[in-house]
Structure 1
Amino acid sequence: MQTTAGVVLAGGRSTRMGRPKAGLEWHGSTLLYRTAAVLARTVDGPVVVVAAPGQELPELPAGVGVVEDPVEGLGPMQGVAAGLAAVEDRAAAAFVCSTDMPFLHPDFIRRVLRGLTETGADMLLPVARGFRQPLAAGYRTALAGLITDLLAEGELRPGMLFKHCDVAELDDARLLEDTALARHDPTLESVVNANTPEDYAAARERPAPEIVVECFGALARGGRHRPRKVRAATLGAAAASVELALDRYIVAALNGDQVTRDALLPLVSGDTVAFLSADAGG
């Protein structure tokens, strides 16, 4: 299996939002933290955030790198090129997305990256909810050089890349052939952006994802060992739902494998979180 990477375009100051989207609050962290952490929990290779020149970024998940866009004002494809170049020596493929995708689901990322492998294309372009989604797409990291050359020729639009490489497209129906994606994100809200203050406000008012929480061992007092469905956008919120605090005595296992204490770890629909004593969980 080829190593996969994640690239998040942090963007600069948004003219529509009036402030950088990357730092907008999202359930105790930021949009950038959530997007980067969703990628980090999904891909098996490096994750980098592409910042605009001189851009100050909010806190990032542990292990997520930063690369600076070398030229300001050339649009998102310059950021795509910088991100792909930063991971090209460590991964053959990358999922590339913008920072303002609060409903991005790991199953969508996996579907896109699997489609890139299955088709053998240079780029896997979702055509979801009626639009091409170049900033929620799979790229061969080797495309970094081609994109840089096109930018040097003044070709700044994503559509120009499509004319110079092998692009495979997946529409809603093809994407939703993946049973896990169809179950957890049936309307493909993974590609929904917060483009305006109204979009952001509406997204922020939506209920948190429904997940399952379990407690084991000494933490299972009062019947808490029974699986419970709760709504929580982060691991910390999931712990609070069963009156626990993530400290050195308690760890959490996400979906049976990832053991962590990161209270800001993003949760998504379909997740199961098991809390256990640290001496039992390692």
Structure 2
Amino acid sequence: MNSYHKPFTAAILSGGYSRRMDGINKSLLKINKTSIITRTVNVLKNITDSIIIATNTPDDYLQMFTGVDFTEDIIPHKGPLSGIHAVLKQSGKRDVFVCASDMPYIEPQIIISMYNFFTKVSCKVLVPAYNQFIEPLFAFYSGEIFKELEKYMLSQPNPAVHSFINTVDACYYRVGKDQLKTFTNINTLEDYLRLKE
């Protein structure tokens, strides 16, 4: 392991084709000639030696990356929780940093700072927060919560990440206004075109 690498698994949740963007795979959109997911993988490779892409369309990525693992949903149709669950299963007891595949501006410094904080507190999930805003798809999940998550997913008709976090011992990592760009994500074609300007 590189001396700069941290002993956690990084997971990119790629839900595939967006209904709000006419079936486009948002992670493959390019900003400054580089796809969003390629930039994300490159950032993560500088801070960890374990990267997993959670996707039900792995063929989209197999030719793009080396040294990256893939996993598919074990309990499907549960939104992002399906990806988090699959990644926790594959990573064993290792802590997992989770991010969405449509976040073009993630920065390694905040991930490392969050991890260092996570190792010093006794909580199972660490979520960044700014005032009332939280981002559970840019967060650390303890490797120990797999069974809790699975139980929650199987017991809820409409499980949601925010609701699950409320059922476990979660901590919040306070971020400043100047760090909010890191959490930018793309939901619509208008979002993408605005970011390209």
- Class of the TM-score when normalised by the shorter of the 2 chains: 0.7 to 0.9
The 3-state SS of whatever aligns with 1:38 is helix
1:35 maps to 40
Going from structure 1 to structure 2, the CA distance change for 1:2 and 1:193 (only over 3 Å counts) comes to closer
- Report 1:117-266 matches (<5 A): 117-128=119-130, 130-154=132-156, 156-173=159-176, 186-205=178-197
Q: Could you tell me how far 1:34 is from its partner in structure 2?
A: 1.5
Does structure 1 conserve the Cα–Cα contact (< 8 Å) formed by 2:58 and 2:70?
A: no
Does structure 2 conserve the Cα–Cα contact (< 8 Å) formed by 1:51 and 1:57?
A: no
1:56 maps to 59
Q: Could you tell me how far 1:87 is from its partner in structure 2?
A: 1.2
Q: Could you tell me how far 1:38 is from its partner in structure 2?
A: 1.3
2:12 maps to 8
In percent, how many aligned pairs have the same letter? 24
Q: Mean Cα displacement is larger for which, 140-149 or 105-114?
A: 140-149
Q: Which amino acid aligns with 1:50?
A: A
Q: Could you tell me how far 1:4 is from its partner in structure 2?
A: 1.1
> 5+ unaligned residues in a row in structure 2: which ranges?
none
Q: Could you tell me how far 1:98 is from its partner in structure 2?
A: 0.3
Q: Could you tell me how far 1:27 is from its partner in structure 2?
A: 3.1
Does structure 2 conserve the Cα–Cα contact (< 8 Å) formed by 1:51 and 1:66?
A: yes
RMSD between aligned residues = 2.1
The 3-state SS of whatever aligns with 1:77 is helix
Q: Could you tell me how far 1:162 is from its partner in structure 2?
A: 2.1
Residue 73 of structure 1 pairs with residue 77 of structure 2: yes
Which of 5, 28, 31 is matched with 1:26 structurally? 31
Structure 2 CA distance for aligned equivalents of residues 129 and 62 of structure 1 = 39
Does structure 2 conserve the Cα–Cα contact (< 8 Å) formed by 1:22 and 1:57?
A: no
Q: Which amino acid aligns with 1:21?
A: K
Looking at secondary structure, tell me which structure has more helix per residue. 2
Structure 2 CA distance for aligned equivalents of residues 27 and 146 of structure 1 = 41
The 3-state SS of whatever aligns with 1:96 is strand
Choose 1 or 2 for highest CA Rg: 1
Q: Which amino acid aligns with 2:119?
A: T
Does structure 1 conserve the Cα–Cα contact (< 8 Å) formed by 2:71 and 2:86?
A: yes
